[in-house]
Amino acid sequence: MSLRYALLALLNVEPMTGYDLHKVFESSVGHVWYAPDSQIYPELRKMEAQGLVRGEDIPWGKKATKRRYHITPAGSGEFEAWMNSPLEYSRVRDPAHLRAAYLEYAAPESARAQLKAHIEHHETLLRQWNQKILEIDTDTSTMLTRRLATLPADQRQRSRAFKRFAYEGLIARAEAEIAWANSGLRLLDDLPPEA
Amino acid sequence: MSLRYALLALLNVEPMTGYDLHKVFESSVGHVWYAPDSQIYPELRKMEAQGLVRGEDIPWGKKATKRRYHITPAGSGEFEAWMNSPLEYSRVRDPAHLRAAYLEYAAPESARAQLKAHIEHHETLLRQWNQKILEIDTDTSTMLTRRLATLPADQRQRSRAFKRFAYEGLIARAEAEIAWANSGLRLLDDLPPEA
DNA sequence: CACAAATACCTATGGACATAGTTAGTGGGT
DNA sequence: ACCCACTAACTATGTCCATAGGTATTTGTG
């Protein structure tokens, strides 16, 4: 259900085509919410049918057109309503911790490799997110810069602070995952070898 | 895809009916992987068709029977193969951090309420998980006790250590979430009020 | 000008999951 | 004798999402 709101959040900044949105999903928003284009295009049409966005065909080259969507007042309303509604927490479904609980069934070298992969995975995320924080601080993030341009000066700090806040949370989580996996590696070292 | 392996992990300990499994999912495994019974029953039949488990009808009362599934060698093999295969990481999809990134659109009191709800949610989880750790340490977890009974003494420590490890990871994560939400509350306090 | 890469959009299939039911027998209490 | 909670199992619908394609146009590069 969040895809719709992620799209509305982006269209709040400026009108975009499905293709534009899909690209943004691969870079900025994609860090909190991924969506493939095969999901974006139909969702946009559904949202248009419900009056949350309106699309217009704009010329592209000589023969072609592309469809650019902009948010409607109903769409803004829907988005703000969602932003002010309590978050629904879905039940835990966590492959990594499921596996950890049964790590005794894995060969020790395999367990070690998996924990190392866990660390590497989260270190990659960490690098991406730290990069994002840097972009926020130095004003080199395209989407955020555009967003800030639409705001009065006194609200820019606010906007920037929340973006930073979101990424800081992701970073803290990734660091916790890395620390946990490291403690797992230590556990493997300390555990007596299997009989 | 993990549902299948969670089921195999449980059936590795002892044969169970779909109903039993669904109950376990609501207590112990449910903390890492939730599944409704409407998903469990069909999955068991699919697994039986593929030879991973075998079900037998056992009498229950006078007229009724129930179907108890036990794991087959093929099932054990499948489970171990999965345990030794690298974990697949799915792309981030995180409603809480998506919302945090756009918290400027929420009314300040609403934002505050949401952060408090975030803290409460994770504190509830934290309590459950700490309880689980206690059960592991004091041998009062039914599933684990049964599991340990099937193992030679020298492997019990190992089994127990990994269970603990899994829950410690969940706890660390929940604590990180709480710390993050608290920093968000502080941010709201420090931010100048909206114009 | 040819050609590759990028832009733009679309479809189809299948799995996973949420949600909301239904049916029926069992076992214990009153 | 009756009620009710529990046990046991199943079904049906719909959404979300992954995966893997497809088509056509445009734009930049050599």
Query: What residue ranges do the domains of chain B occupy?
Result: 2-83, 95-190
Closest listed residue to residue B167, CA positions, set B195, B139, B112, B128: B128
Residue A185 pLDDT more than 90? yes
Q: Mean pLDDT, to the nearest integer, of A51-78?
A: 92
pLDDT one-digit tens code per residue, A99-138: 999 999 999 999 999 999 999 999 999 999 999 999 999 9
Whether A66 sits with its Cβ under 7 A from any strand C atom: the answer reads yes
Which alpha helices (DSSP H) does B17-152 contain, by range? Answer: 18-26, 37-49, 73-84, 95-101, 108-138, 142-149
Residue A42 CA distance to nucleotide C19 C1' (Å)? 23
Whether A106 sits with its Cβ under 7 A from any strand D atom: the answer reads no
Q: What is the pLDDT of residue A150?
A: 85
Which stretches of chain B drop beneath a pLDDT of 70? Answer: 194-195
Q: What is the pLDDT of residue B195?
A: 52
In this predicted structure, which of A85-89, A143-147, B92-96 has the lowest mean pLDDT?
A143-147
Q: What is the pLDDT of residue B117?
A: 97
Q: Confidence class of residue A194 from pLDDT cuts 50, 70 and 90? A: low
Closest in B33, B91, B110 to A94, CB measured? B33
CA A138 vs CA A142, A169, B119, B164: distances in Å: 11, 19, 31, 43
Contact flag B2-A163 (C-beta cutoff 8 Å)? no
Q: What is the pLDDT of residue A195?
A: 52
List protein-proximal bases of chain C (any atom < 7 A from a CB).
Answer: 7-12, 15-21, 25-27
Distance between CA atoms of residues A91 and B26, nearest Å: 11
pLDDT one-digit tens code per residue, A14-61: 999 999 999 999 888 888 999 999 999 999 999 999 999 999 999 988
Q: What is the pLDDT of residue B45?
A: 96
* Residues A136 and A160: beta-carbon distance below 8 Å: yes
Question: Which pTM was predicted?
Answer: 0.93
Q: What is the pLDDT of residue B192?
A: 76
Residue A192 pLDDT more than 80? no
Q: Which CATH class is domain B2-83?
A: mainly alpha
B186 touching chain A per CB within 8 A: no
Whether A64 sits with its Cβ under 7 A from any strand D atom: the answer reads yes
Whether B90 sits with its Cβ under 7 A from any strand C atom: the answer reads no
Q: What is the pLDDT of residue A63?
A: 80
- DSSP 3-state percent helix, strand, coil across chain B (nearest 5): 70, 10, 20
Distance between CA atoms of residues B19 and B21, nearest Å: 5
Closest in B87, B125, B172 to A95, CB measured? B87
Q: How many Cα atoms are found within 13 Å in the side-chain-facing hemisphere of A81?
A: 8
